Amino acid sequence: MEFKLESNVLSEIVADTLLLGIFEDETPEKAIRKLDRSFPADFLESIKQVCLQEGFRGKANESVHLPTYGALACKKLIIWGLGKSAEHSAGSSRKFAANVARRIKSNGAGGTLCLCLRSGKDGKSDSQAAVEGWLLGSYSFSKYKSNDDDKPKSKVKKVTICGTNLSARDFNAAANAGKAIGEAANLARDLINEPPAYMTPSKLAQEAKRVAKECDLTCTVMNVTEVEKLGMGSFLGVARGAKEPAKFIVLRYNPPKAKKKIAIVGKGITFDSGGLSLKPAQSMEHMKYDMSGAAAVIATMRAIGTLKPPIAVLGIAAATENMPGGSALHPGDVLVAMNGKTIEVNNTDAEGRLILADALCYACGQKPDEIIDIATLTGACVTALGRVAAGIMGSDQKLIDHLIKTGEEAGEKLWQLPLYDEYKETLKSDIADLKNAGARGEAGTSSAALFLKEFVDGRSWAHLDIAGPGWLEKERDEFNKGGTAFGVRTLCRYILSQA
């Protein structure tokens, strides 16, 4: 997809379709006159009358469609509601573009399209968000549909953007960032939405190698024998019940004279049956998305490799299935993690923290300045925050605050949950250093994060529990149905903000 800056006034924009956003607290004619004083008066009156007839008030996602009949250089004009101007932000431009892209895709329109943004103070943020939004809203996963009518694809070949007051250079920088991040998020969505029989740990490792080759990254994939030599008993304990071999994936981006080194660590359970602590059938239905953290890490590394910031980034994905095979982990077993800590397993369905324990130990051994892990870790987080926000916890409040702020800018909500020392009591074991699961039904998300804290060696660390927003049952603005790739935009923006 090509994105270009449009410098002409509205009436002179050559496109098949021109999209103009209008706020609730303004009239279309007032908005158009601000943008183009030479706009044809007769056609402006037609717009006014049609909006009145159709009851257009500028509410979010309302729209009015008008053929121009040669009155403008474009063939069709769409007036689109943006909601209240006081609530406008870069995120609004992302939602605007995403909803337009989804509507355009569904009605089969194609050709060239121009988005007229109602940019705020930061035209670069608005432009980047709009490009992200367009790519996110255009996404669909229809690989396994046999009927072409069930495979909606955007027929738009070129998108131009106006209303930003940017130079061509600044616009191109913003558009390139938006494109890299949007494409990365869609890659993660593809990885998550693939059936688990296809997206195995081995296939996930292949995808990581492909990304590394395309983006000039270094990729190392360790097999069970290599992982065993490193002493990753916690990771291998989960893996032993599965026929599919586990893979430990490491992606590296190391620019010369890097200012900082950040490690991002993702949970890669490519299918979670619960192990011997077997999930009920309904709870197992979407468990292919339990590798969303690993998908987010691989996708983020793609964006970083494309944009090449002066920050070293280490991407780690521990990938395995959690299955109840003949060699499966038993409740009551004791595992030894890479740092020597012993873990009594009292719930084999609390497996994500077991594989992350060794992944975090490995990350610490690479001596990063910061560690951020991302995982669909606990159902308790879905109970607490629903599917709107992810939980965030950690050892470094400055890092947590920065990630929350970055998440707001990226359109991904993060809500901090506490790590009170009292929760540690639930992790005490009579026979080992700690148990893998705390008290049932009590502070499950926080106790899981406290478990992970035992493996970060006192380093600056933040944990993102994306179990809720990582999967949606229906589309919502720039978020799609199915695997959403939640966290990719936040991780990308955070890393880029360190440059």
Catalytic residues: 279, 353
Q: Pinpoint the alpha helices (H) of 108-246.
A: 123-138, 168-193, 201-215, 224-229, 233-239
Can you say whether residue 74 is alpha, beta or left, with left for phi > 0 and alpha for psi between -120 and 50 degrees? beta
Can you say whether residue 485 is alpha, beta or left, with left for phi > 0 and alpha for psi between -120 and 50 degrees? left
Half-sphere exposure of 331 (CA within 13 A, CB side): 11
Q: Note whether 181 and 94 are within 8 A (CB).
A: no
Burial, 69: exposed, middle or buried (Cβ in 10 Å; 0-12, 13-18, 19+)?
exposed
Tokens read off for 225: 């024998």
DSSP 330: P
27/48 Cα distance (integer angstroms):
8
Q: Which helix (H) or strand (E) holds 118?
A: none
- Report how far apart, in Å, the C-alpha atoms of 148 and of each of 136, 145, 152, 229, 253 are: 21, 7, 8, 49, 40
Beta-bridge mates of residue 219:
251
| Dihedral sign for Cα atoms in the order 52, 57, 62, 66 | positive
Beta-bridge mates of residue 415:
391
Q: Note whether 180 and 306 are within 8 A (CB).
A: yes
Q: How many CB atoms lie within 10 A of CB 268?
A: 34
Q: Note whether 383 and 463 are within 8 A (CB).
A: no
Q: How many CB atoms lie within 10 A of CB 281?
A: 7
247/423 Cα distance (integer angstroms):
32
3-state secondary structure of 267: strand
394/392 Cα distance (integer angstroms):
7
